[in-house]
Amino acid sequence: MARKPNKNTKGRVLRQLLVFGLVMAGIYLALIFLIMPLYTRHWQHIQVPEVTNLSFAAAEKMIRGSDLVPQEGEAKYDNNVPPGFVIFQNPLAHSFVKKGRRVYLVISRGKQPVPVPNLVGANLRDVRFVLLQGQLALGKITYEFDVYYPEGVIMEQSVEPDAEISAGSAIDITVSLGPEPVDVFVPGLVGRTVEDADLLIKKARLTKGRVSYKAKNDAVVNKVIAQSLQPGLRAAKGDTIDIVVSTLAQGQEDKIPW
């Protein structure tokens, strides 16, 4: 007749199995939450610094100071980041890598260059729009007499057409005053802006002399209110003409000097 299992033996086996299961579970949890993180962090314990928007020299110094190796990568045009500054880094900032890992840096080449339009032969009133459309700016304007180009037409530009320059750059131009007049007559300047008066004086082949200012509450600011030579009179080439300009500022000269 078979012997029945002892209840005490059966209970002891169950307890041993339970203890064994608890021990294995503890080992598994320790492996997942303690040993593995320590193992991985042992090889990846350097935090990558943030170097975007820094110059390459500053970024290089910071990366080397973190026991990492800076590696200059490709250069890209960027309208918002100055030339020579970092646009992007890989690995990303604040990530963990092993000591001696290379950090690749994308460097800005500055603004995307744009082609210079041909302005010669165009009217001055159209040039500002053409330059604006081409992401460029109008620089210094000079005026010269010319027998070939009509008055108000561009005859020279500071940068050759089709050359590529940085967006936002200024282009200086020379505008024709037309053929040089034979006779010299004094132009009427009263009511003109200072800029318009300068142009009329140059066109008349006269020389602008002293500019005085007079505070007038009933006058528009920056307008000529008096001139030293009578309009319409014949003058000699190069004669000097002084002007008085209206202003609202106090403490300026308050009398006409002639």
Average pLDDT over residues 64-84: 91
Residue 2 has pLDDT above 90, yes or no: no
Give the tens place of pLDDT for each residue, 136-164: 999 999 999 999 999 999 999 999 999 99
pTM over 0.95: no
Tokens of 255: 């009398």
Confidence of residue 97 (pLDDT cuts 50, 70, 90): very high
Distances (CA, A) of 13 to 4, 150, 178: 16, 113, 115
| Alpha helices (H) along 134-249 | 194-203
Phi, psi at residue 98, to the nearest 5°? -80, 160
For residues 122-132, one letter each, b for 16 or more C-beta atoms within 10 angstroms of the residue's C-beta and e for the rest, the string is bebeebeebbe
Question: First vs last Cα of the chain: how many Å apart?
Answer: 147
**CA separation for the pair 46, 19 (Å, rounded):** 40
Q: What mean pLDDT value characterizes the chain?
A: 85
Residue 194, C-beta contacts closer than 8 angstroms, at least 6 positions apart: 211, 222, 224, 243, 245
pLDDT for 96 equals 92
Residue 95 burial (CB count, 10 A) = 13
- The span from the CA of 160 to the CA of 157, in Å, is 7
Can you list the domains of the chain with their CATH numbers? 46-108 (3.30.10.20), 112-180 (3.30.10.20), 183-258 (3.30.10.20)
Q: What pLDDT score does 252 carry?
A: 45
Torsions phi, psi for 94 (to 5 deg): 75, 0
